A = this chain, B = another copy of it.
Amino acid sequence: MTAPSLTHVKCADCPIRHRAVCARCDSDELELLDQIKYYRSYEAGQAIIWSGDQMDFVGSVVSGVATLTQTMEDGRTQMVGLLLPSDFVGRPGRDGAAYNVMATTNVMMCCFRKRPFEKLLDETPHISHRLLEMTLDELDAAREWMLVLGRKTAREKIASLLAILARRDSSFDKANFQTESEFELSLTREAMADYLGLTLETVSRQISALKKAGVIVLEGKRHVIVPDMGRLLEEAGDDSDGGLLA
């Protein structure tokens, strides 16, 4: 179940202690990866990639939060992915970007030049294997989100999003299942609305409602405390474990 992580592998020579590809790589392969690797930072609000642009790299988020969004001509936008640290960006085998990628907070990306990375992929089965696994995980996540978008109420949508963020945030440790969690809410109300297929007003109202009901506690506007994760998952309409133990 816990395959060698493609990310979050400590790396002695890397200032941010982040090796963005594969724990199973031998030192020659890591050498190759280092040669095609570079870091790049983006400021909050800045575009990382515009839909349709040529993409000459793939990579993964080291720190910060970025979003994948799709837009219709009339301006309606839908977030189709949330990129948290360790998430992969880019599509080997295709040049044009299919989505807008925006930095929500300041973002540090670990990038690999695309052509050499694709070459490496062809020559190194376990990297390609791991990438397949990650893509299948993303597909599962996207499909879970389709249920949220299609069938959940506004309140359930908000609770689902908060549950995801709580789960992904460092302070929540799923192995040592704890009922309390606490995290920084790095999305604006509008970004949440775009993720949930709602308006920002509805997001604000439902957050207030969850606050009033004691499901969450807000410190300031952005710091969220969840006194009881079970309660939050109930509000999200998830079955008891909410996929946390999956």
Contact = CB atoms under 8 A, between A and B. Distances in A.
A197 B122 CA distance: 40
Contacts of A93: 132-133, 136
Interface string A55-94: 0000000000000101011101110110000000001111
Interface string A122-144: 10010011011101101110111
A73 B241 CA distance: 13
B142 A142 contact: yes
Contacts of A117: none
Q: How many copies does the complex hold?
A: 2
B132 A78 contact: no
Interface residues of A, number: 43
Question: Max chain B CB contacts within 10 Å: which of A80, A122, A139, A237?
Answer: A139
Nearest to A1: B94
Given A135-B139, A139-B138, A146 B147 contact: no
A44 to B, nearest CB: 24
Contacts of A91: 136
A145 interface: yes
Contacts of A218: none
Contacts of A150: 78, 149, 196-197
Given A76-B151, A125-B125, A131-B132, 4 more contacts: A98-B140, A142-B146, A149-B150, A149-B197
